[in-house]
Amino acid sequence: MLVQRHQDRVFNLAYQVVRNREDALDVAQEAFVKAYASLPGFKGDASFTTWMHRIVVNLALDCLRRQRRGDPTVYDDRLAVSDEAAQSLAAPDDPETALETRQVRSLLGRGIQALRPAHRAVLILREIEGSSYEEIARAVGCSLGTVTSRLFYVRRKLQKVLRPNLDDLR
């Protein structure tokens, strides 16, 4: 029951960090196995979601580290997957707006892809999962100051990535 309630959210978080469906599925399933094994140690000082986020983020970062050690080209290969995913996402009916939306999403996908995984995790937790700074600090295992710095860094970076495109749309 708990798994079914959280599986989509956990998969989405894993996917946003690893940017590959197969790996994300593996990370998400492994996260529940790990959560099951660690459940006796769950003290309840953080919410279940925050606790789960921490497990998912750590597993996702481990997954990326393993792959980058084994095959440095994997990271670049995924750019295509990410871009394709961005292109295929549902867009508005109006063809012009749909094209613009796809362009922005594609750029955003590339921008997110280019971020360091630890920075990407912070961004995803904040902007897509809507976690608070404290929850992110717990999930990623860093200080509040680091969360603030990383968020500023990635926001500035993405804003720069999108700037030419967004200026055209004004």
Partner 1 sequence: MNLAHWLHTLRGEGRRLAAYAADELSPAERARVAFVVEACPACRRKVEAYQRATAALRALPRAGLTTEEAAAFLPEVNRRIDQGRAMMARPARPGLREMVWDHPRLSLASACTAILLIIATSAS
Is residue 143 close enough to count as binding partner 1 by CB under 8 A? no
Query: Does 51 participate in binding partner 1 (rule CB under 8 A)?
Result: no
Closest CA relative to residue 53, chosen from 20, 11, 23, 113: 11
Q: How far is CA 32 from the centre of its chain?
A: 18
Residues 18-47 that bind partner 1 (CB under 8 A): 21, 24-25, 28-30, 32-33, 36-37
Residue 93 sits in the site that holds partner 1 (CB under 8 A): no
Separation of alpha carbons 100 and 116, rounded Å = 26
Identify the CA nearest to 23 among candidates 11, 35, 8.
Answer: 11
CA dist., res. 38 & res. 77, Å (int): 34
For the chain, state the CA radius of gyration: 17
Taking CB under 8 A as the criterion, the residue among 74, 81, 108, 142 binding partner 1 is 108
Q: Confirm or reject binding of residue 74 to partner 1 (CB under 8 A).
A: no
How far from chain centre, in Å, is Cα 169? 26
Q: Which residue has the tokens 């360091």?
A: 116
Task: Please identify which residue in 39, 80, 128, 144 interacts with partner 1, judged by CB under 8 A.
Answer: 128
Q: Residue 49 burial by CB count (10 A; 0-12/13-18/19+): exposed, middle or buried?
A: middle
CB of 36 to partner 1, least distance (A): 6
Stretch that binds partner 1, among 5-13, 46-54, 59-67, 73-81 (CB under 8 A): 5-13
Q: Which of 74, 79, 81, 104 binds partner 1 (CB under 8 A)?
A: 104
Write out the residues near partner 1 by the rule CB under 8 A: 3-4, 7-8, 11-12, 15-16, 21, 24-25, 28-30, 32-33, 36-37, 85, 89-90, 104-105, 108, 123, 127-128, 148, 151-152, 155-156, 158-159, 162-163, 166
